[in-house]
Amino acid sequence: MYYPISCTRCGCSRTNLPQNTQSWEPVHCRDCGEFLGTVDQWEEWLTINYAVKMLNMSRALLLRMARERTACGRAST
């Protein structure tokens, strides 16, 4: 799996992970060898949090309702 990283030491964006990895295996920078975390931590970081997803969906609904209300107000005048 591809992990979008940015090494804090050298700025590199490549890792040294093979295709089949276990969740406890470390993720290291390919250039300098800096430890960046484990596979499990990176997969958790990359997945969408359910609460944040619902918050974004409710915000989008509120914005759409506000636009519709504004459009209806302009059409009637």
Residue 29 DSSP label:
B
Residue 13 has pLDDT above 70, yes or no: yes
- Whether residue 77 has pLDDT greater than 60: no
CA dist list (Å): 62 to 52, 69, 71, 77: 15, 11, 14, 23
Q: Which helix (H) or strand (E) holds 26?
A: strand 26-28
Q: pTM here? A: 0.47
Position 75 scores a pLDDT of 60
Phi, psi of 36 (to 5 degrees): -110, -10
Q: Identify residue 46 by its one-letter amino acid code.
A: L
Mean of the per-residue pLDDT values of the chain? 78
Asked whether the predicted pLDDT for residue 39 surpasses 70, the reply is yes
